[in-house]
Structure 1
Amino acid sequence: MTMLELDGITTRYGELTAVDNVSLRVETGELFCLLGPSGCGKSTILRTVAGFETPAAGRVSIGGTDVTDRPPHERDCSIVFQDWALFPDKSVLANVAFGLKMQGVGKTERRERARERLELVEIAEYADAAPAALSGGQKQRVALARSLTVDPDLLLLDEPLSNLDRRLRETMQLELTDIHDRLETTMVYVTHDQNEAFTLADRMGVMNDGRLVQVGEPATVYDDPRNRFVESFLGSTNFLSCRVAGAGDRPMLETPLGVRFRAPIDGADLAVDESVVVSLRPERLTVEHPTTGSRSEPTAVEDGGADTVTVTGTVTETIHRGSDVRIRLSVGDADLFVEEPVATGLTVAAGDRLALRWSPGEAVYFDTAGERCR
């Protein structure tokens, strides 16, 4: 069953279109992440669903009911904000029970239900404390408990962990996933953090400039990006601007690395001398010290068989990042980087020569408009 449906939602602030014709379905019990850079419209979608913004066009349905014109208190949803929004003059328990009080629930029942939710988020011992006495992580747990206490059909979370340090944020992500699994509450979670979205989401939607660019399971969106924006936003990659040297099936691409290879894409719509951008994810590149007597010039198989591209570059920089080392190399007229786990024991320094290999089948290709070539 579909819990949330957006049908052609457009939301404007004056002449600024913050959300542009967005359609989306979120299924019952799903944890759905809206992911995108700051200002892309993801929080505006959440506020439109909650009823804090009125769309200029389109329809919002929750649980099969059209709520587009209903005020926030008539929608069976609750929202957790980035800044917690706790009442400073109320105890933790009173903050969590506040929504039930507004619903007319009796004092005894609302206090019992509030304590249950505080136990769920493992902060029941602070029930009588004031919010000012809590840490950031504890305040976030209170805000989450308050939203869960009213048992909403739909829980909206607007970057709720962004004010926490990395370790606590990662801990809260796992706890939120556990809470979701136990309660099976439908959640829509807004974030700009790719790692957070991959940790939490059953499915995700990537947004850019007010539009919903791609929707799918996290692994699918990462491995099969629809356009260059999605590829660039979901992690780090190397982009190479290549020239089409031969069109047709498996077009020949001339790279700035000093090597040509056949790309496993349909080149029927590509013309000779047209540009194709190739994305090489660092985890799909193999790097090693050249063996004694090995060829140092770039090589590639240029027929229809299984092909591997091999180039040799000069290390320009190494950046140690804890469990891995980012190695930057100058290869031909381009700069590339790879990320090598420290555990492999590869020792490199600036000025070293390294062999770099990849399979064209593991690269991703985009046309001049940034759309995926297949």
Structure 2
Amino acid sequence: MLRRPDLPAPRSPRRCAMSRIPAWAVGLALVAALAAVLCSITALRQAAHAPTLRPYAYDLPDGWTPPPVPAGSVPVTEASVALGRALFYDTKLTNDGKTTCATCHEQARAFTNGKRTGVDASGHALEHNTISLVNAGYASLYTWADPSITTIEQELAMTPRPPEAMDRLRADPAYGRMFAEVFPGQADPFTWANTETALGAFVRTLISADTPYDRFARGDRTALSPLAQEGMGLFFSNNLACYTCHVDVPRQAGMPTWAAQSHQHNGVTADGATMLVPALRNVAVTGPYMHDGRFSSLEQVVRMYERGGDEGASSPHKNPVVSGFLLTDHERAALIAFLTEGLTDQRLLTDPAYGPPPIATPDH
């Protein structure tokens, strides 16, 4: 074909650059692209599921820090707390299939049970009164008479461990998902150690930080009635010195320092035995009182300390602070007003987050 001399000669057609890439390289690129897409989908799914993996969001006042977690215990996350809460209210962990942790630790009673002494799953009375779980995450002692128990998990390990309990949990698909999430990578996460550390995560969230005393300490001078303020003055006085034995954690800025947790001879044990000095938060709802539940009212407790003790009053092992004191009826009423009105945390006693899950057990 003729062409005009002023037109450029036609170029030879170029081969597509892709035609020079080996087929194996193209295949590898496609595989990489597919992997990237799959990774993106997985990341999106994980992001949607991530909230349960986040650290538990404590709602604490300024100056308070979350409870420490002992080495070897599961971190306090939304997932571990949810698992621990489900277990706390589940009957699968007990011999009789009826009892739960909450049977002996009722939220409305500040996680005690209102009985003189505890009762086991068989209905047999135990030796000591049930200790409150409130602020247990801050504690360093967990039993009335054994100072070697220093973590929540050690205390939980002392409770009966029916062998069939793990089979009950393992048979529940919902627990299968929850245990796998909290204890990833374990061939069989259904162990008593894992169960106890999940329960410990939930118990560490049972924090009382909003009593009228707390609000008063933070500057709200209307939080306590005049009578309760007078009782607070007596509580922290050198005459009564209640604060030198009873613990409160953490410390309140600008307020007198309470004692460190300890075992002391309390003036009511006839021998030299020492007993845990309990914290007094929510004491209005944790009766009966003392290690053996011998007193049904706070007035009885106060009058006993006015006497300097009961049958153990002359014991050489008794804490010398328990030496007796004199109170007028008005002063006694003021002291009790501080203990009841001032140290009761209604938020803790009623917050649904501490109660049974919306569905009490995962398989219902």
| Alignment TM-score, normalising by the size of structure 2 | 0.25
Q: Which has the higher helix share?
A: 2
Q: Which structure is larger by alpha-carbon Rg, 1 or 2?
A: 2
Q: Which has the higher strand share?
A: 1
